[in-house]
Amino acid sequence: MHPHQDNYTQLTTGAIPSVITRMAVPTIISMLVTSLYNIADTFFVGQIDTQSTAAVGVVFSAMSIIHAVGFFFGHGSGNFISRTLGAKDRESAARMSATGFVYAIAAGLIITIVGEWLLTPLAVGLGSTPTILPYAEQYMAIILLGAPVMTGGLVLNNQMRFQGNASLAMVGIVSGAVLNVALDPLLILGFGWGIVGAAWATVISQTFSFLLLLYMQRRGDNIRLDLRRFTPSIKYVREIVAGGTPSLTRQSLGCVATILLNVVAGVYGDAAIAAMSIVSRITFVIFSVIIGLGQGFQPLCGFSFGAGLYERVRRAFWFCVRVGTIFLTLCAIFLFVFSTPVIAIFRDDPDVIRIGSEALRYQVLVYPLGALTMLSNMFLQTVRMPWRANILAAARRGLFFIPMILILPSCLALYGLVICQPVCDTLAFIVTLPVILYSLRTMEQHAKRKAANSDS
């Protein structure tokens, strides 16, 4: 058997729990370690002052834009690759691999150039107050230099993962994240570079991760990146848009939501911005496990859908929802009980702790709803239902959050700020449930029609 058939056989015939576990564990580790270096920035910068902590939270929105672009090309090309490999069309998959990578690098370069040119208005637009602005400008000017390697690295990582080679992708991501965590205390505190040290730690580690991913994609069962296969045709652009737009929608609206959160929180002072930034980072870490679980599901979903195994896709989806809901429920209980000491880890400021612990308690109340919401979005994206996927991608951080963050604080002041996200999460769940049930029913009906046609 040719090596690349091993992944095909496992993803289309292997026991669902064991296949998803094998795919998900490396991606969960990657997501957790990536989250760890985001948390590390917040922790070590928190040893400086509240303004630096808030600046990292503000610039996190700019990094979200970079990640949105990387995920757009990574998920857009990766979804296509998994389906074509499921249909045993390796040549098309190889062409998409090169095409998605080249577009991502070009987009990263554009972000660097435009971002550096508009640095100050961008920092202000992202929610910097006058006291935060100098720190945000220093941090973001350096972060933007790493945009091309960030977008390129995300494409390489996702393409490997969608081929069923999550372990190789994990090595590249985790190595860079571990380096970042090691560099943070050295550059921030040891060299006394402060927030500039945090930025250089991120850029150096992301560059290292990118180079390692370039090496790792030439190992094992991966399609080798061959730039000669770059194919700038409308067919591949259309596939990238269909598979990547939900990611772009989800990430971009998340960025807009974070900007609005910073702007509204700024009314209540730097402590409110810092507190909400810490809560966002904690939630990001917890939900990174669900994202990792979903990313473990996506290769099985893509290969099985491409092979016409729709019942297998449905069973795998509900398995992931059950596991994710149990995990989030346990996390919610722990964080509700220990919200104050958890916030205090990041910033020893009474106002930050007070606002952050209250916001965290409200947030965790709706954690258990998140598994269905996030996994449904990833399912629809993988099986190429872009309109439905985009609706769900927009729901949590866009359709509901943007109006709510403008309405609730104006009516309820600081209390409105801290309950905004949990209210939006509840509304997103209410929208997601009928959409996913209808989509699964549509897929089942399609499978029955296909079976009936083959019998006749």
- What 3-state class would DSSP assign to 195? helix
When comparing pLDDT for 167 and 378, which is higher?
Answer: 378
Model confidence over 308-348: pLDDT tens digits? 888 898 999 999 999 999 999 999 999 999 999 999 988 77
% pLDDT > 90, the chain: 25
The answer to whether 375 touches 314, Cβ cutoff 8 Å, is no
Determine the Cα angle at 71 with ends 303 and 41, to 5°.
130
pLDDT at 330: 97
Lowest mean pLDDT among 76-80, 170-174, 373-377: 170-174
pLDDT at 372: 95
Residue of 230, 222, 127, 243 whose CA lies nearest to 165: 222
What is the rounded average pLDDT of the residues 154-166?
83
Model confidence over 226-251: pLDDT tens digits? 888 888 888 888 888 887 777 777 77
Rounded to an integer, what distance in angstroms lies between the CA atom of residue 227 and that of residue 94? 10
Residue 80 confidence (pLDDT) above 80:
yes
What is the rounded average pLDDT of the residues 293-301?
87
47 is written with which tokens? 């040893």
* This prediction's pTM: 0.72
pLDDT at 217: 80
Residue 86 confidence (pLDDT) above 60:
yes
What is the rounded average pLDDT of the residues 66-82?
88
% pLDDT > 70, the chain: 93
pLDDT at 151: 94
